Amino acid sequence: MLQQQPLTGNGPSNGRGLGMSGHPGMHALNSVHHPSQRRSDGGDSGLEGTENGHENRRDIGDILQQIMTITDQSLDEAQAKLVLTLIVFIFQLCSLSMRNAQEDEPQDPQLVRLDNMLLAEGVAGPEKGGGAAAAVSAATSSGGMSPDSSLEHSDYKSKLSQIRSIYHTELEKYEQACTEFTTHVMNLLREQSRTRPVTPREIERMVGIIHRKFSTIQTQLKQSTCEAVMILRSRFLDARRKRRNFSKQATEGLNEYFYSHLSNPYPSEEAKEELAKQCGITVSQVSNWFGNKRIRYKKNIGKFQEEANLYAMKTALGGPQGNDSPHTPNSTGSGSFSLSGSADLFLGVPPVNGEQSAYQMGVQANGNWHGRNSPPSGASPHSDHSENSD
């Protein structure tokens, strides 16, 4: 299931994808997972007051969230103060009922995990470092596509940096809001202390509660970010399977090499690099191509004879038309017609009556790279192919 989502490129909002291209604001990430909207999949349980059934902690969170949204909008001081007073009052109530809630912060392991992941993804780390690139290469380590796929690569990177910037903005915002809020609460408490005794302990507890609350919110932010990164990553990985045919030029270049080295179609690392450059593809693509080609050629030699002839001819003629003639080593510079001389050049001269086909001889002569396994029984190697190159 979960077959290959549409993901037809650049759809900013396909599926439930990171809707970040829209507003780089506070709500972009939250759209993925809004802190105030509870999800009931066990995923983030444990972040909020599940213990002792202190449901009101969650309510406080909601209220806080709302307040923060409100204060984000322009509200004049007086109103804001009023609201804050109210909040403080609620907090006081809350702190009464939470008397024996855990006072210390056990450094939630989940939070640590989130932090680690964000760091690994290069989201939380230092600015614009190689973090993103590292993450990508780690993600694709098995694939073996190094400096390539620059298309998806850059796409991924830009998306990741979007996430990162949103994350940082949000984090900063929360932090700022937290200190602001704390200050306000302190001020209010100070004011209250004129009319009633306010113990330092109470203040301390207040601050503690506020910080915990904000850190919960931050955790949720981190979680949302992680989710976004995961989605992005899985999509990126899926996208790798997207296939596009090589250009005609590329195929020609590869075929030329292949057929001119038919006796040993295993390009060295250098040759691969050269081919890759020449064909505008990557080294691993060259490897893939040769892997596929060898096996498919071997599987059904007959099918490739025409092609073989064609390229053998091309090579023999030293390149047909102004095509980029590769620096294929020893490009059979011998005469135009005597096609038998060169070692590598094999000419698929198909069976001229019982005679072994020339290409087979050629291959055999120079080391049979496919181990001369019994060609698949069914694959009648010398099918009719009467005509051949003129």
Cβ closest to DNA, residue 46 vs residue 147 = 147
In this structure, the number of other CB atoms found within 10 A of the CB of residue 273 comes to 14
In the block, residue with structure tokens 């690994």: 120
Q: Among residues 74, 244, 322, 354, which is the contact residue for DNA, using CB under 7 A?
A: 244
Tell me whether residue 39 or residue 296 sits nearer to DNA (CB atom): 296
CA–CA separation, 119 and 127 (whole Å)? 11
- Total chain residues near DNA (CB under 7 A): 29
Residue among 47, 18, 328, 312 nearest 320 (CA)? 312
Shortest Å distance, C-beta 238 to DNA = 9
Site string for DNA, 266-305 (x = CB under 7 A): x-----------------xx-xxx-xx-xxx-x----x--
Calpha distance 301→230 (Å, rounded): 45
CB of 285 to DNA, least distance (A): 4
Smallest gap from Cβ 381 to DNA, in A, equals 15
CB 115, CB 125: distance < 8 Å: no
Nearest approach, Cβ of residue 349 and DNA (Å) = 22
Residues 6+ apart with CB under 8 A from 43: none
Choose, by CB under 7 A, the member of 40, 195, 245, 338 that binds DNA: 245
Residue 3 binds DNA, judged by CB under 7 A: yes
**Smallest separation, CB 318 to DNA (Å):** 24
Catalogue the long-range contacts made by 189-193 (C-beta closer than 8 Å, 24 or more residues apart).
189/88
| Stretch of residues binding DNA (CB under 7 A), selected from 51-59, 137-145, 211-219, 345-353 | 137-145
Shortest CB 14 distance to DNA, Å: 14
Residue 100 or 373 with smaller CB distance to DNA: 373
Write the interaction track for DNA spanning residues 356-385; mark x where CB under 7 A is met and - where it is not: -------------xx--x------------
CB closer to DNA out of 174 and 236: 236
The span from the first CA to the last CA of the chain, in angstroms, equals 53
Min. distance of Cβ 12 from DNA in angstroms?
A: 19
Residues near DNA (CB under 7 A)? 3-4, 142-143, 145, 240-246, 251, 266, 284-285, 287-289, 291-292, 294-296, 298, 303, 369-370, 373
